[in-house]
């Protein structure tokens, strides 16, 4: 069981909009393609203004647009500045990109933005944290509180904990919102 009693961010748990529910796959696909193009234009302009080198990759999968900004070479391109400490800048940039898409298309966006593979690396790290927490809870039969994390990160941890057969719940408010892993009731 996974419980998160807060309003979910669109990337996590948003039902399809009425337009999406009635749209044919071709219409939805073209809308997602347009969303990707608008977002890519916005991000290219931002990269130019910030004088940061990077390539933008757009992928549409599972009804969502995924945009990645990747380095063109092996040298430091400054992309780390777009991630920031604990991904805070990346989260803000994703929201700004979604607003840009909303302004251009009058449709809410569920796009996911990644910079230089940060989300993949962080996802692997969060999976490891969740597995270690499950092991500790199984060993001690005691609840375990994890460090605060974003809604996106909590979703990853909740999924891993549930897959491993334990219970997790989000507690706290704002920046202090965190997960508590508990033994299953079985």
Q: Which residues are within 8 A (CB) of 176 and not within 5 positions of it... i.e. 6 or more apart? A: 148
> Considering Cα of 40, then 99, then 87, then 125, what sign does the dihedral take?
negative
- CA distance linking residue 48 with residue 5, whole number of Å: 40
pLDDT of residue 5 exceeding 70, the answer is: no
Average pLDDT over residues 98-107: 96
The model scores a pTM over 0.75: no
Question: pLDDT value at position 30?
Answer: 87
pLDDT > 90? residue 103? yes
User: How would residue 152 be classed by pLDDT, with cut points 50, 70 and 90?
Assistant: confident
Q: What percent of the chain has pLDDT over 70?
A: 83
Q: Which residues contact 7 (CB under 8 A, 6 or more apart)?
A: none
């Amino acid at each position: 069981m996974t419980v998160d009693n807060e309003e979910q961010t669109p990337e996590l748990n948003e039902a399809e909009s009425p337009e999406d529910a009635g749209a044919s796959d071709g219409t939805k696909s073209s809308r997602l393609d347009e969303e990707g193009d608008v977002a890519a234009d916005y991000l290219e302009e931002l990269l130019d203004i910030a004088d940061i080198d990077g390539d933008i990759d757009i992928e549409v999968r599972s009804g969502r647009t995924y945009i990645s900004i990747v380095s063109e070479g092996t040298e430091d391109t400054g992309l780390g500045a777009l991630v920031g400490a604990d991904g805070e800048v990346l989260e803000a940039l994703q929201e700004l990109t979604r607003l840009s898409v909303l302004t251009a298309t009058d449709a809410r966006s569920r796009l996911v933005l990644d910079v230089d593979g940060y989300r993949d690396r962080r996802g692997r790290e969060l999976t490891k944290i969740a597995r270690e927490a499950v092991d500790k809870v199984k060993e001690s039969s005691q609840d375990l509180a994890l460090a605060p994390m974003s809604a996106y990160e909590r979703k990853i941890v909740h999924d891993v904990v549930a897959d491993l057969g334990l219970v997790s719940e989000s507690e706290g408010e704002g920046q202090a919102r965190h997960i508590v892993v508990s033994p299953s009731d079985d």
